[in-house]
Amino acid sequence: MTLLFICAGLEPGRDGVGDYTRRLAAACIARGHPCTLLALHDPHIARRHDDTSDALHVIRLPADSPWPERLAYAVDRTLRLAPDWISWQFVAYGFHPRGFLPATLLQAAASFRGPLCHVMLHELWLGLEVGAPLRDRALGWLQRRGVTCLLDQLDADVVHTSNVTYRAALGREGYDSDVLPLFGNVPIAPDPSSPSAHFTGVTFGTLHPQWQPAATADWLLATARRHQRTPVLVALGRAGAHAAALLGVFRERGIAVTETGELDHASVSRL
């Protein structure tokens, strides 16, 4: 069975969905299924890449190139590959800084359906939470139109998303989906020789202003006390512009907070 995975970007270590897709494809190859990865909007390259390494065929199209040019090349390669399944590993922000899908992509989407089509929606749209600000709801309305248009164009055989909240939101729009739990991108380190005196909470990557961290901080405190450990919070990666205010909620409650910046996989796993 030949597989084509479509995503936005594939720069190792710089695109979470891209890293996930690489690992997924590697696992499929190990089970005897030839795979190709196609990045339609890769901001980390200046020219087109189309090559094979370690049995994995990777096509990366630069975000600076005109959409019609990229899509024409991608459609041609898809037709030549003739995969049995096409799997969209989708997050709207990978294609536009505000999560708006280009009309040219939506118009061409049906060309990337294949004999069998799968869509994994890693994210949906803004404004899902109760009491969301008007701005988020307005942006979310535009984002939702793009996502639903893409789903209509693809008419996928299988639709997955990452959690029950997203599944419910898709159901309200008339789309059936199932939850597909995400595997980790970080190998598991061996257990430490002695138990830690700390109860450690970890955040990964950008901290978004929609997050209300007080409940998490209270839970971390209560759970650490129940286990007679000291609560700590470690913020991994690029936490973003709102990190100081959000992490301050933990510090105000006496929880020690460490901001690490980017770390290698081994260092992350040892946490």
pLDDT in tens, 173-202: 999 999 998 887 777 777 776 778 899 999
Q: Are residue 44 and residue 74 in the same domain, yes or no? A: yes
| Secondary structure letter of residue 139 according to DSSP | H
Domain assignment present for residue 52? The answer is: yes
Q: Over the stretch 205-251, which tens digit does the pLDDT of each residue have?
A: 888 887 889 999 999 999 999 999 999 999 998 888 899 999 999 99
Residues 6+ apart with CB under 8 A from 90: 7, 17, 119, 120, 121, 122, 147, 150
187 within a domain of the structure (yes/no): no
Specify whether the CB–CB gap between 3 and 28 falls below 8 A: yes
Is 140 part of a structural domain of the chain? yes
Residue of 6, 69, 75, 85 lying closest to 40 (CA atoms): 6
Looking at the fold, whether 141 and 254 belong to one and the same domain comes out as no
- What is the reported pLDDT for 114? 87
Indicate whether 62 belongs to any domain. Answer: yes
Q: What is the pTM of this model?
A: 0.82
Angle (CA) 129-17-40 rounded to 5° is 110
Same domain? For 101 and 162 the reply is yes
Domain that holds residue 101: 3-179
- Same structural domain for residues 160 and 50? yes
